[in-house]
Structure 1
Amino acid sequence: MDRTPGTSVRLRLALSYAGFLMVAGILLVAVVWVFLLRYVPDEAIRLHAGRPRDGSPGSPGLFIPGRYDLWRAFAPKAALTLAALLVVGLVGGWFLAGRMLAPLNRITAATRAAGSGSLSHRIRLPGRRDEFRELADAFDGMLSRIEDHVAEQRRFAANASHELRTPLAIAQTLVEVARNDPDRDVDELLRRLHAVNARAIDLTEALLLLGRADQGTFTRERVDLSLLTEEATETLLPFAERRGLAIETSGVVAPTIGSPALLLQLTTNLVHNAIVHNVPGNGGVWVTTEADPQTVTLTVENTGEVLAPELVATLVEPFRRGTERVRATPANAGHTGVGLGLAIATSIARAHDGSLRLAPRAGGGLRVTVRLPAAGPEAGSRQGAPNGTAKT
């Protein structure tokens, strides 16, 4: 924004200091003069003047020359004092304003550095806490969050580009091989192209859903998280049966405020992730909902490999998987995922003013806990019987 040049804040503060000091000096001089006129005895002024007009007591002109001489003696010194106060006010105000505005100059320099792309710069203003220190600390915190967000977006863009390029490169390879093969199987080629294209579509839709959740552009309404849990587990039950896994759901009514579609997607992603990263034929998935007057909780646990805490902390990043990339097999065809399940779930929980936490289970596997704000004071009073259990 183009602005017309104006007076600096430092100069205005210096003029303000000098102006207040001059006003105080003038008031002081006025008080002294009023005191001399009204409260100093006439005899003292007469003796100080030393030249009465006549000797008769009570003569009208006896004390006029004395007060006039007092004014002549007082006025120059008062003027010099005010002039000195003006100089001291300007000079002292200039230095005091500069000292007080020094932290603001550092904050301005840091803002310009951040505007030029240097997000790693921090003010780190020393000293005890005051308004400037609070502003500097808030600015440092904002820069830290922006730097983390930009780094996350760069990693996400790089991973998304890689993931999107993979199915396109596979499709191109299939087409080139088929074009150079006179004995190509058209049906097999179409089947493979369809699978590759379906994966690219799934990945694109997941990216769009992740962006929608990050932006928070959705309609909020009352939602029962326990009902969404039942719907998600029923949808994924055939997939769990093919892998020989048991799904158990239990809990209480858990009302919250949010988007039913996004919260269903969150629940589905967590249950799907628990099924895919599990022990086929001898594993299980446990889905539980809890509620209290302030929060509702969704917990999804699954058996699986023993995970290190360092690895678990990275699973919510886009395109990160706890094990090797899941290969498509007849048992999990169409359910291998695109590596965005936990990232989407985290974004949806954050968009609903909630949180998502991961923790490794002692015997192997993962525990995912989602906490969301409860939908009003009646949330805790509506606790009822368990939703039931679905097993395979």
Structure 2
Amino acid sequence: MNSERARLTALYTGLLVLAGVLLTALVYVLLQQSLDSRIGSAVTRAVPASEIEASGPAQPTVGTFAPTRPMGTNSDSELAGLEIQQVSDAAGEATLNRLLTVSGVSLAVFTVLSAALAWWMAGRVLRPVGVITARARQLSGANLHERLALDSRGGELKELADTFDEMLDRIEHLVAARQRFAANAAHELRTTLAVQRAAAEIGLADDPPPEKVARMRRKLIENADGSEHLIESLLLLAVSDRQLQHSEPVALHELTTRATDDLREEAARRDVTLDVDAARPLSVDGDPVLLEHTVHNLVSNGLRYNHPGGHVRVRVDADGVEVVNTGPVVPFGDVPLLFEPFRRAAARDHRRGRADGGAGLGLSIVASIARAHGATTHAAANADGGLTIRVRFPRTAAVAPATAAVPAAV
């Protein structure tokens, strides 16, 4: 900060001194132009030319210099005028010299005072920067909750401090979310591993009958599949959080048709009607693999968190893809939380979700992929149960917009 203070001091001092020099030069020029005539008029008024003529030329005395009459001077009046001009020139020159001397001394004093004032002003201006720097150095992962809270009446530095506080809010939220994510992921993995170990210990103890061994084997396979699905979801979530590495035009209506065709068997097994309207062509710019995961997760979640005899409607239109599902009523306050990892709606049976392979990552993956594509997600709870979720893709010069409304998924 001292270097910046020195630079500001030099800048302020230089500007003030430059202004002083320009002012002095202007006064000098203006005074020089008008001084001769004003001194001549003053001398004429004080000693009229008639008195000079009447007195005649001064008689030379011994030891004095007798001015000679200049050539071309034919009368005493001309000589008087010449003498007045000489007096005016001498007085003007003396006045201007005195002005320069006084101005130089004043400018030197002004320079010293300007430097001192500029140093003080620069210190006051940069004081908030010192406060921000000192407090920023004290911040760490243990005290991210602290803020600068700069006490100022406004201005650019106050705006900078407020922006820094807002950035700290976002960082604190991100760190807390990552910590929750790591804790939840560890819990999910630890639970499945505990189940597998218990099943192995119980099923393989002593000499179990074949049917018990078969049941434990199925249980181990189911838990292994659930763990594999969880790990794949975590990896997909990590990949979708990064910037897109590949982008190309994707026919979203065709992609939606393929993704829903792969889920029709599951829909029939759950006794849920799956209706798809993807007749309207729609193209978006993005990663086809991630976009297919988006549609698959939306529809799969709509099927998983449904009830027998329910339905899931998928529609592709000018705004994108819309998926609406029936199911249990979702509290309004739980809707925004569904896009966070490992969050499940309170209305859902937690154990059933786990048994179905749901770890609470479906919609968080959807939201993450949407962000990577510059899209937005919006969820709304249906009055009669279930969710409607939209994913809106941005308009580009070569790509039409896409909006994916999707069912409840966690």
Kindly provide the CA deviation profile for residues 248-292 of structure 1, in whole angstroms up to 9, marking residues without a partner as x.
Answer: 111522211111111111111111111111112x2111111221x
Instruction: Tell me what 1:189 maps to.
Output: 216
Write the letter of the residue equivalent to 2:229: D
* Residue pairs, 1:152-163, within 5 angstroms: 152-163=177-188
Kindly provide the CA deviation profile for residues 321-355 of structure 1, in whole angstroms up to 9, marking residues without a partner as x.
Answer: 221224389xxx8x532321111111011111001
**1:257 alignment partner, one of 285, 307, 310:** 285
Equivalent residues of 1:306, 1:364 under 8 A apart: yes
Equivalent residues of 1:285, 1:303 under 8 A apart: yes
Equivalent residues of 2:257, 2:276 under 8 A apart: yes
Kindly provide the CA deviation profile for residues 83-115 of structure 1, in whole angstroms up to 9, marking residues without a partner as x.
Answer: 332133122212322232234334334533445
**2:39 alignment partner, one of 44, 55, 58:** 44
**2:6 alignment partner, one of 11, 16, 19:** 11
20 and 45 in structure 1: CA distance in 2 versus 1, 3 angstrom threshold: farther
Instruction: Tell me what 2:372 maps to.
Output: 351
Q: Distance in 2 between matches of 1:231 and 1:306?
A: 29
Instruction: Tell me what 1:297 maps to.
Output: 320
Instruction: Tell me what 1:58 maps to.
Output: 82
Which is further off, 304-313 or 175-184?
175-184
* Residue pairs, 1:122-201, within 5 angstroms: 122-125=147-150, 130-183=155-208, 185=210, 186-201=213-228
Instruction: Tell me what 1:365 maps to.
Output: 386
Number of paired residues? 366
Equivalent residues of 2:39, 2:88 under 8 A apart: no
Higher helix share: 2
SS in 1 for 2:250: strand
Q: Which structure's CA Rg is the greater one? A: 2
Equivalent residues of 1:245, 1:275 under 8 A apart: yes
Equivalent residues of 1:254, 1:374 under 8 A apart: no
Instruction: Tell me what 2:49 maps to.
Output: none
**1:73 alignment partner, one of 88, 98, 102:** 98
256 and 128 in structure 1: CA distance in 2 versus 1, 3 angstrom threshold: farther
Deviation at 1:140, TM superposition (A): 2.9
Equivalent residues of 1:356, 1:370 under 8 A apart: yes
Matched, 1:83 2:108: yes
Instruction: Tell me what 1:312 maps to.
Output: 335
Deviation at 1:81, TM superposition (A): 1.8
Matched, 1:272 2:267: no
Instruction: Tell me what 2:357 maps to.
Output: 336
Q: Distance in 1 between matches of 2:316 and 2:135?
A: 47
Write the letter of the residue equivalent to 1:301: V
Q: Distance in 1 between matches of 2:325 and 2:351?
A: 17
Deviation at 1:160, TM superposition (A): 0.6
Q: Distance in 2 between matches of 1:267 and 1:101?
A: 53
Deviation at 1:36, TM superposition (A): 3.0
Instruction: Tell me what 2:251 maps to.
Output: 224
SS in 1 for 2:389: strand
Deviation at 1:375, TM superposition (A): 5.5
Equivalent residues of 2:32, 2:96 under 8 A apart: no
Alignment RMSD (CA, Å):
3.1
Deviation at 1:372, TM superposition (A): 1.0
Structure 1 unmatched runs, 5+: 1-5, 381-392
Kindly provide the CA deviation profile for residues 358-387 of structure 1, in whole angstroms up to 9, marking residues without a partner as x.
Answer: 11101111111111124646738xxxxxxx
Identity %: 36
Q: Distance in 1 between matches of 2:344 and 2:353?
A: 15
Write the letter of the residue equivalent to 1:313: P
Equivalent residues of 1:10, 1:101 under 8 A apart: yes
* Residue pairs, 1:102-121, within 5 angstroms: 102-114=127-139, 118-121=143-146
Instruction: Tell me what 1:386 maps to.
Output: none
Which is further off, 19-28 or 108-117?
108-117
Deviation at 1:40, TM superposition (A): 0.8
Write the letter of the residue equivalent to 2:95: L
**1:210 alignment partner, one of 233, 237, 251:** 237
Instruction: Tell me what 1:383 maps to.
Output: none
